[in-house]
Amino acid sequence: MRTRRWTLALAESCTGGLLGHLITDVPGSSDYFLGGVIAYSNEAKEQLLGVRNATLLEHGAVSEATAREMAAGARRLLGAHVALAVTGIAGPGGGTPDKPVGLVYIALDAPDQQWCRRYVWRGDRAANKSSSARAALLLLYDYLFHP
């Protein structure tokens, strides 16, 4: 990010700020990291990130469509070159047969493209959050080095 002079923004739900924590653990991350939004509720997703109410009603908070809109909203809100978004069900409760505990969508929004990946983790709450945050960093890495 530093070499390209790009900036990064985040929209986190189920990771609750863990992704931002991992990024800011790196000395010099202020050169590229602008900030993030922890939008845990649907209202916060709508009001802060511009996720459409229709998207939440049709697809739910844990969906590819919502993750994509969260990432686009974070990039727009903070004026970043690239944004990452994470939404999912960390557990132990909250899962359904269609959306089990551990289901996570991670999206990346950039000017030239948008990516989204789906995961179903099998760990406990802490492990699911950690796996999600690390997978988001891997998505960014893949975008930067393997487009």
DSSP-assigned beta bridge partners for residue 87: 105
Q: Is residue 72 part of a domain?
A: yes
Residue 98 has pLDDT above 80, yes or no: yes
Q: Is residue 58 part of a domain?
A: yes
What's the length of the chain? 147
Residue 41 has pLDDT above 80, yes or no: yes
Q: What are phi and psi of 81, to 5 degrees?
A: -70, -40
Domain range for 20: 8-145
Q: Is residue 134 part of a domain?
A: yes
Give the per-residue pLDDT at 147: 73
Task: Assess contact for 36 and 71: CB atoms under 8 A.
Answer: no
- How do residues 61-71 score in pLDDT, each as one tens digit? 999 999 999 99
pTM score: 0.97
Q: Is residue 1 part of a domain?
A: no
Give the per-residue pLDDT at 58: 98
- How do residues 18-29 score in pLDDT, each as one tens digit? 999 999 999 999
Q: Is residue 2 part of a domain?
A: no
Residue 134 belongs to domain with CATH number: 3.90.950.20
Domain count within the chain: 1
